[in-house]
Structure 1
Amino acid sequence: MILPSLHLCPIQPSISLTEHTWHQHTTDLDEMPCPTDSPAQMASARLWFLYDLSASQFSPDGRVFQVEYAQKAVENSGTVIALRGKDGVVFAVEKLAVSGLISDSRQIVETARSEASNYRAQYGTNIPLKYLNERVAMYMHAYTLYSAVRPFGCSIILGTYEQDGPVMYMIDPSGVSYGYFGCAVGKAKQAAKTEIEKLKLQDMGCRELVKEAARISTKSEALCTFLRYLWVPF
């Protein structure tokens, strides 16, 4: 039995805070407190910081900062391009290896292996990717619900070929998952997505997808850097 491919982008260390530094919770620099702020503004900033400490705590505007930080770690990690065609799934993966904190990756891989093994032991057949996707997604989502744990800093792309044809899913650090014909994660995600959207992937075979994956990797400076380490298995 071959377990569907997993790409994992581990979380990176948190930024520490001291009484002389401030952590920016939003991308808007105007919202960042400064020494000239009024006491009320400074108190508001300290109160806002309380929502930063736990994955189980919502901010007043409905955000969960710990999940956002995990997603940011994925955006700063190595690039992955995944394309699903009419006869298979192609992964273009930077270095085909895990970078960063390996323990996160091992935990997810072992969970997926355990789910696949348990399903086969119980039903005598390989686990359909739909069920493996749901179980891994629920496992990752559970780590966004409690204050004693942190979200996994990785996005996972699952791909396989089943009786009805190729199947591919992506799971983000919040546990949200969707099926795709084409997707990308990592530093050069946006540039890759722009090129993927131009393709009619459902009409393309694996050999064409390999060529397109290599072509997409040359379209931007970030992707050109990625191309130096590109392996394309299918």
Structure 2
Amino acid sequence: MGDRYSFSLTTFSPSGKLVQIEYALAAVNKGVTSVGLKGTNGIVIATERKSHTPLLEDNSIEKVSTICRNVGMVYSGMGPDARILLDKARKSAQEYKRVYLEEPSVMIMVKEIASIMQEFTQSGGVRPFGVSLLIAGFDETGPSLYQVDPSGSYWAWKASAIGKNMINAKTFLEKRYSETMELEDAVHTAILTLKEGYEGTMVESGIEIGIAYLENTTTKEGDKIQQGRFKKLSEPEIKDYLANL
């Protein structure tokens, strides 16, 4: 009886569970730890970047990615699944901008990605995505941080963690997080959270960090405005943060 439900994507078990979702979450929990924190003036997302062999080029691994100008994401779980979602999200963001001549809000991107993930829980011949995502961005409502799970469920968070060291990371965040912290403090706290479960000495090439913030820009008409911006920190920038811990 158990096998019958285990191999059916669209059938609930007698206990009311979709076991394929549980298998997908198990894949997430085997992935490296990723964290996200919301500051008063920005968002930070960070993750470990580990290779299983010194022969691998470190810069070929990318876990923190830009979706559009003001939104980015990080994943824990299966990399190939995350790439599919990233490609779909980027395409959706470009379509939105072409129609409305502006960047999409964080919520619009979260709903789009969550809808894709939910669809794969009830379609025949496919399986749920084996990733959880932390999506960070800055729009007219301010900084936003969302977590999206394989079921398509999503929640807004002040701080969150996903991956194999999720429980310890969340415990650490509960002790260290403050709603009044600014972006600089949030970056330091994110690094310290990863460091709690990091194996070996943490170096700039061993982690990835992305931040969302307000950027001062000038329009074509010469007006000065502020717009949301997401960017990845370079290794020299990360090295500076590590030196100041």
Say whether the fold is shared (TM-score over 0.5).
yes
Which residue, 90, 94, 103 being the options, matches 1:113?
90
What is residue 28 of structure 2 aligned with on the other side?
A: 74
TM-fit CA distance, 1:67: 0.8
Call closer, same or farther: CA 1:100–1:180 in 2, change over 3 Å. Answer: closer
Contact 2:77–2:163 (Cα < 8 Å) also in 1: no
Whichever residue aligns with residue 214 of structure 1, its letter is I
Q: Unaligned 5+ residue runs, structure 2? A: 50-60, 64-75, 212-245
- Cα RMSD over matched residues? 2.0
**Deviation sequence 1:66-124 (CA, Å, 0-9, x none):** 11100110000011011111011111211263587543222101110111011111111
SS for the counterpart of 1:155 is strand
How far apart are the structure 2 equivalents of 1:167 and 1:140?
Answer: 20
SS for the counterpart of 2:45 is strand
Contact 2:43–2:144 (Cα < 8 Å) also in 1: yes
Which residue, 147, 171, 176 being the options, matches 2:124?
147
* 1:66-215 correspondence to structure 2 within 5 Å: 66-95=20-49, 97-98=62-63, 102-215=79-192
Call closer, same or farther: CA 1:122–1:73 in 2, change over 3 Å. Answer: same
How far apart are the structure 2 equivalents of 1:91 and 1:183?
Answer: 9
Which residue, 56, 61, 66 being the options, matches 2:10?
56
Call closer, same or farther: CA 1:166–1:100 in 2, change over 3 Å. Answer: closer
Whichever residue aligns with residue 17 of structure 2, its letter is R
Which residue, 176, 198, 205 being the options, matches 1:223?
198
Contact 2:35–2:190 (Cα < 8 Å) also in 1: yes
How far apart are the structure 2 equivalents of 1:85 and 1:104?
Answer: 29
Whichever residue aligns with residue 151 of structure 2, its letter is S
Whichever residue aligns with residue 6 of structure 2, its letter is D
Whichever residue aligns with residue 201 of structure 1, its letter is S
How far apart are the structure 2 equivalents of 1:58 and 1:131?
Answer: 29
How far apart are the structure 2 equivalents of 1:172 and 1:113?
Answer: 19
Contact 1:54–1:146 (Cα < 8 Å) also in 2: no
Taking structure 2 as the reference length, what is the TM-score of the superposition?
A: 0.71
How far apart are the structure 2 equivalents of 1:71 and 1:100?
Answer: 8
How far apart are the structure 2 equivalents of 1:100 and 1:129?
Answer: 22
TM-fit CA distance, 1:160: 1.1
Contact 1:79–1:226 (Cα < 8 Å) also in 2: no
Whichever residue aligns with residue 116 of structure 1, its letter is A
Greater percentage in strand: 2
Identity over aligned pairs, percent? 30
Q: Unaligned 5+ residue runs, structure 1? A: 1-46
How far apart are the structure 1 equivalents of 2:144 and 2:81?
Answer: 25
How far apart are the structure 1 equivalents of 2:200 and 2:96?
Answer: 40
Moved more, 92-101 or 120-129: 92-101
Whichever residue aligns with residue 20 of structure 2, its letter is Q
